[in-house]
Amino acid sequence: MGKLCVHNGTVISDTIVHNGAVVVEEGRIAYVGHSSGVSEDMRSGEVVDAKGAWIFPGFLDVHIHGAAGHDFMEGDQQSLAAVARHLAQYGVAGFLPSTVTASPAKTRRACELVAGFQQVDGAEVLGIHLEGPYINESKKGAQYGGEIRRADLDELAVLHEMLGDQLRLVTLAPEVPGGLQAVDWLAERGITTSVGHSDASFEETMAGFARGVTHVTHTFNGMRGLHHRDPGVVGAALAASTVFAEIIADGVHVHPGAIQVLLRAKGVDWVVLVTDAVQAQGLSDGQYILGDQPIFVKNGEARLEAGNLAGSTLNMLQAVRNMVDFGLVSLKEAVQMASLNAARTLGLKGRGWIRQGYQGDLVVVSPQWVVQRNYVAGRLIYIKEG
């Protein structure tokens, strides 16, 4: 692994550097600053002229179910590899394939897929996100109700033995039988635990936070909402200052005004952009699947036949752009929510930002919001042709 120098761009880092440069050596960022500060030695490897484009840190999507015609519950290595390649064009450096509520056998198969995945190219598979099956039937949304079950430590132990530290994130409802015991078990092992698809009261949710829940899955969606006499999961998420909150910024799942409330309550540092994308990401309207259920995409919105929202067709680059276009945050803040915050919620140190010593995940994005190049640890995973 050699050197990479990307220069003559606007670097989004701790400060915004115009006519900036980033140098990566042996996979790590060795220099961030003005292009004039790049030495001849730093230019001894691959040199890329960004031509005035933005230089972003690589995005990390911690909640995605599929893309490009593939669903992760298929349990197929070729499908996962195809999604990894597909996501690179949207600036994604790493992602968590996310399950849906399914039978124990299908859940194991999805975990076996990730545990045995041989990375070839494209965005990095960071591990797995178990969304369910330990959720509340009343807030299941597009999750398959037939396989919702009580929290099962034996099942978790089997999956953890298979995955090890690749079991990164688990979404559950703390109020379901065994929920808090599962939170204890996961927290003891350093696994990020999230509240989602939950009808918990404010008090039950706060109890989950006290026991080790540090994350909220697609905030506002699939949970008990905010009422002034019953603050619910949403109220607890807004009140808890050190809990990360996902948001799907597609303009469909959550009104921009509600996102503004979330930002005012929690601050930019605690909000994580996710796509919750399904296999229709990057494809046209039509019929698709999500786990065991058919879903229907019309005008870019994915729903069950009954009308429930069923994930999204959003990509991470569009999510960042939407946050800026909605007038909610600056470009730097939007990028942070798609990269650094995601790394922090998973405990990935030295990743998710353009900072000296961090992993060299860089995305070159034109002023027209088109990804030109995408690098993971200084290795090119995507280049726009033409």
Task: Catalogue the active-site residues.
Answer: 276
CB 7 within 8 A of CB 35: yes
Q: 371: helix, coil or strand?
A: strand
| CA distance readout (Å), 47 to 58, 283, 369 | 18, 34, 22
> Cα torsion at 84, 87, 89, 94 (round to 10°)?
-80
Amino acid making up residue 372: Q
Burial group, residue 327, by CB count within 10 angstroms (0-12, 13-18, 19+): exposed
Amino acid making up residue 143: Q
Q: Is the peptide bond before 133 cis (omega within 30 degrees of 0)?
A: yes
141: Cα within 13 Å, side-chain hemisphere: 26
What the block records as the tokens of 42 is 């730093």
28: Cα within 13 Å, side-chain hemisphere: 6
Pairwise CA distance, residues 247 & 213, whole Å: 17
Pairwise CA distance, residues 110 & 128, whole Å: 9
3-class SS shares of the chain: helix, strand, coil, % to 5: 30, 30, 40
Beta strand pairing call for 362-365 and 301-303: unpaired
Burial group, residue 324, by CB count within 10 angstroms (0-12, 13-18, 19+): middle
Q: 44: helix, coil or strand?
A: coil
Pairwise CA distance, residues 202 & 225, whole Å: 10
Q: 105: helix, coil or strand?
A: helix
Beta strand pairing call for 3-12 and 16-25: antiparallel
